[in-house]
Amino acid sequence: MAARKLLTIAIAGNPNCGKTALFNALTGARQHVGNWPGVTVEKKEGYFELGDRQIRLVDLPGTYALFANAEDERAAVDYLLSREASLIINIVDATNLERNLFLTSQLADMKIPMVIAVNMMDIAENRGIQLDLDELSDFYGVPCIPLSAVSEKSVTNFISQMGHVLASPMPLPKQIAYADKVEEAVKVLEPKVAPVAKLLATDARWVSLMYLGNEKSYADKFAEAGVMRISLPKRA
């Protein structure tokens, strides 16, 4: 019998979004708990089968943002920058979508194939919250799959939908167009942060957006690259 193809998927989301529930539902007892290299943050990995593939699922630390300052953020960003994961499952809470989508946008900026799992759909419906998942999918350019991670039927449907995703080219998020002032600042920053982007093996646009969000992001890498102070044009 031919060996199953191994595919690594990272699962990401805010704390309390149902990430652990989905991870446990998919991997069952086939999981291992350790620590991320150099930090005390817990690292969970597990396995499940999907068609002719064996899926290695890596549960990233629950975090509201990816600025690589706190240990949990740094562990998540470092792992994603390694490109070890071929796909991200980004879980968002349907009852608190606006707060969750900040992380979603940051993940999309990393230009890694992604699927958005909109969890707690049953609770949202009971509260009268109506979501247009087609519009959400169109905005980010990736599939948005409804989910209730505590429902066996919903998880089974999610797995089926993931099978369709993996049977097609990997869904790469669209580049998000931010406000004009942000885009102008990115253009100024890109050549200045290019040495940092090279160190991180990523693109200068992503580093620029991280810097605009929090100037302390990857401060050690900025220092290593010799990029110590950046001046931006003053706003009118």
The one-digit pLDDT tens for each residue of the chain (236 residues) are 456 789 999 999 999 899 999 999 999 878 888 888 878 888 899 999 988 889 999 999 999 999 888 889 999 999 999 999 999 999 999 999 999 999 999 999 999 999 999 999 999 999 999 999 999 999 999 999 999 999 999 999 999 999 999 999 999 999 999 999 999 999 999 999 999 999 999 999 999 999 999 988 898 999 999 987 787 766 54
CA 143 from chain centre, in angstroms, equals: 14
Residue 174 lies in a domain: no
CATH code at position 127: 3.40.50.300
Total number of domains constituting the chain: 2
Same domain, 133 and 207: no
- Smallest Cα–Cα separation from 19: which of 11, 28, 7, 9? 11
CA distance 42 to 27: 17
pLDDT value, residue 51: 84
Q: Same structural domain for residues 84 and 32?
A: yes
Range of the domain at 194: 180-224
Euclidean distance between CA atoms 58 and 45, whole angstroms: 5
Paired with 15 in beta bridges are: none
Q: Is residue 231 part of a domain?
A: no
In DSSP terms, which residues pair with 59 in a beta bridge?
Answer: 11, 44
Question: Is residue 17 situated within a structural domain?
Answer: yes
Q: Estimate the crossing angle of helix 204-213 against helix 97-109, to 10 degrees.
A: 140
Is residue 173 included in any domain, yes or no? no
Global confidence as pTM: 0.92
Residue 1's pLDDT is what? 47
Q: Which of 208, 202, 222 is nearest to 176 (CA)?
A: 208
Same-domain pairing of 119 and 51: yes
